[in-house]
């Protein structure tokens, strides 16, 4: 999902979630992953409700201000948010991939203002990363 450079990612969460396809060993790709790992920026009630409605486990830690607000309300604040720390650590793989993409200065600073040009650069960078991976393991 390509948005404006200054747009926040969090409102795009349900749209991106609808486009996810998880390939399996046989058959068509699944549209519902087992879990979604995201950083604290995605810790909103709307995102958690969206995941709960689709029966997807949320691996998203709670923001400190949300935690303080919940504790301030006492018993009416609800239960603390739980997440699997072992699964959350795997999110590091995605962050490293973004870091490799951003080694291209044009992609990191979004010099290409046209969405098609920017997306073409992303595809080119992804192809180069994939080819490097293929040639380094042989």
Q: Which helix (H) or strand (E) holds 118?
A: helix 115-136
> What's the confidence (pLDDT) of residue 3?
75
> What's the confidence (pLDDT) of residue 138?
56
Global pTM value: 0.73
52-55 long-range Cβ contacts below 8 angstroms, 24+ apart = 54/17
CA gap 124, 2 in Å, rounded: 16
Residues 6+ apart with CB under 8 A from 35: 56, 57, 58, 59, 84, 87
What is the pLDDT tens value at each position of the chain, 138 positions in all? 777 777 777 888 898 889 988 888 889 998 888 888 888 888 888 899 999 999 999 999 888 888 888 888 888 877 778 888 888 888 888 889 989 999 988 888 887 778 888 889 999 999 999 999 888 865
The alpha carbons of the chain give a radius of gyration, in whole angstroms, of 18
């Amino acid at each position: 999902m390509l948005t404006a450079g200054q747009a926040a990612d969090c409102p795009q969460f349900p749209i991106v979630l609808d486009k996810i396809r998880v390939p399996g060993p046989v058959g068509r790709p699944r549209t519902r992953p087992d879990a979604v790992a995201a950083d604290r920026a995605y810790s909103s009630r709307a995102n958690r409700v969206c995941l709960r409605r689709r029966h997807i486990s949320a691996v998203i830690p709670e923001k400190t201000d949300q935690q303080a607000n919940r504790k301030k309300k006492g018993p009416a604040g609800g239960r603390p948010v739980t997440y699997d720390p072992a699964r959350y650590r795997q999110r590091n793989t995605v962050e490293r991939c973004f870091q490799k993409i951003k080694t291209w200065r044009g992609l990191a600073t979004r010099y290409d203002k046209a969405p098609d040009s920017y997306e073409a650069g992303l595809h080119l960078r992804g192809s180069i990363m994939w080819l490097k991976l293929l040639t380094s393991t042989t």
